[in-house]
Amino acid sequence: MVRSYEEYERPSLAADIAAFGIASEESGNKRLGRVKKLKLLLIRRGEEPFIGKFALPGGFIRKGETIEETAKRELLEETGVSQHTFINSGIYSSPDRDPRGWIVSAAFLALSDTVSLKTDKQSDASQALWFDFSYVTDSGTETITLTAEDNELKIVRRDGRVIRNDLAFDHGNIIFDAFMKLRDETVHHDIVFELLPEMFPISELQQIYETITDTRDGAANFRRKMKDKITETDRYEEATAHRPSKLYRRKNKEEIS
């Protein structure tokens, strides 16, 4: 006998968003000048459960929405960030992941400018902050450190399992997976160009690429790596304190060999 769909239990469905950005900040070294820093967007929860703890932006799907529309709406409501590119980075369905009940989360990777933030009074977030993002690995132990103002949060993973999570819910797992997705998309699918203006110095592209992937190439090697993806323009940087650099742009589909 075929069971009716009403007989099946149904979980709640939510979206969580790991929104990364790149900020240009003074290095404190005159020779280096300004450097690129990877940032992650977090909100402080204004409601139980986990009131006062930091978490990823996100929330429940509404009737008539796609889950992608939920992600865009929640990111805007909780942080003021309007973002159009979302990449699914995982589904999280452990029955005990949320103390409120059986809640499945569709997680998304998003990229954004590190714009000023604002929180809708109707959302369950009390604050939104860009956190400096650091990832290190040592003898099989991976550590993500997130710092902003007087806040420092850590997520530690060993043998693929999170053993320390200073955030709400299972958001440590989601952040690890989203960061690995960001690295993969940077190396294999050129998502890095979404963090750049239409025209850019190749040194800026290299800084952002290496910040995300934690790799280091000489300028000549990096130029060879990117030769099939970018092309020179006849434009140069404007209003710079140093010698203006030539500007490049991403090749369009017709130009890629």
Instruction: Give the end of a domain, one of 172, 191, 210.
Output: 191
Residues 186 and 237 both lie in one domain? no
Residue 144 lies in a domain: yes
Mean pLDDT, the chain, whole residue set: 91
Q: What is the CATH number of the domain that holds 227?
A: 1.10.10.10
Instruction: Give the end of a domain, one of 159, 191, 223.
Output: 191
Residue 256 lies in a domain: no
Would the pLDDT of 32 be above 70? no
Spatial distance between the Cα atoms of 124 and 120, rounded to a whole number of angstroms: 9
Residue 234 lies in a domain: yes
Residue 19 lies in a domain: yes
pLDDT digit string, tens, across residues 150-187? 999 999 999 999 999 999 999 999 999 999 999 999 99
pLDDT digit string, tens, across residues 122-159? 677 789 999 999 999 999 999 999 999 999 999 999 99
**Which has more pLDDT, 61 or 30?**
61
Spatial distance between the Cα atoms of 18 and 79, rounded to a whole number of angstroms: 12
**pLDDT confidence band for 77 (50 / 70 / 90):** very high
Residue 7 lies in a domain: no
Output the CA angle 164-167-170, nearest 5 degrees. 75
What are the φ and ψ backbone dihedral angles of 229, each rounded to 5 degrees? -115, -20
- Quick one: average pLDDT of 97-121? 87
Would the pLDDT of 34 be above 80? no
Q: What is the pLDDT of residue 238?
A: 82
Residues 48 and 73 both lie in one domain? yes
Residues 221 and 244 both lie in one domain? yes
Q: Is 65 exposed, middle or buried (CB count within 10 Å of its CB: 0-12, 13-18, 19+)?
A: middle
pTM of the full predicted structure? Answer: 0.90
Give the number of other CB atoms < 10 A from CB of residue 122. Answer: 6
Output the CA angle 110-88-180, nearest 5 degrees. 75
The parent domain of residue 120 ranges over 12-191
Number of independent structural domains in the chain: 2
Please give the helix or strand (H or E) that residue 239 lies within, else none: none
